[in-house]
Structure 1
């Protein structure tokens, strides 16, 4: 549809949300619709796994609960006590390439959130080595029309 649109919108510069809505949601979000009980939450969703890690020693009601990083999209289950399986960070342009400050910052933020998601899933399976070896989370960094993904798992367990 975008390839046939008048004015060649893929050749023009747009804001971050445009790429997220028109390009990446039709590719990534639609591919997850076939998985029952899974959803993609967009628009600066806080990472629950990081929030739980940051508040694991919280004992006083008077102290504020710390939130996890706000990510552009989180792949998670639909239940109330949901688990996260991946996340996405979106940038407007790919200016500067993989060494740009925005790209490096997004990749670092995504990696830390994925680590917390993987650790929470590890706890969910009670550290069972047979299952833990297969558990993975996925992270997606996009900038304009560029995309990079990373899978994080436990290769040395077993």
Structure 2
């Protein structure tokens, strides 16, 4: 049975799976700009036989505490408002078994404000980890050896670390 759901949030939900193939009405539409009709098709995820109970099916919730503080609301399939425990149960009941949480070294500027990026503080990670563990989810911490998210091209050492 295929399910679809919508979380009213900017959380990135990353589940292992494969998308079923989509047939486009007209390949020329990409040249002409005509409507392909793809936006009207349902999202479908086919079962992947190699996915087992041992497969990590996770979601990155680094930004969860920052989103809650900003007033973001989470809802279940029936439109019911979810608290943190309810969100974790919804994720678990829909196949998620791991939560990833990023933690930066010192994600605060000189005025004590975070750099944004989901506020990857240790305190936020702990709050979210407790919710996840209470629901029976496993937790993975990604330690950022920086004060903010970086890319492969730009890696700055934390501001309080020696520069040599």
Fold shared per TM-score above 0.5: no
Larger-gyration structure (1/2): 2
| TM-score under structure 2 length normalisation | 0.28
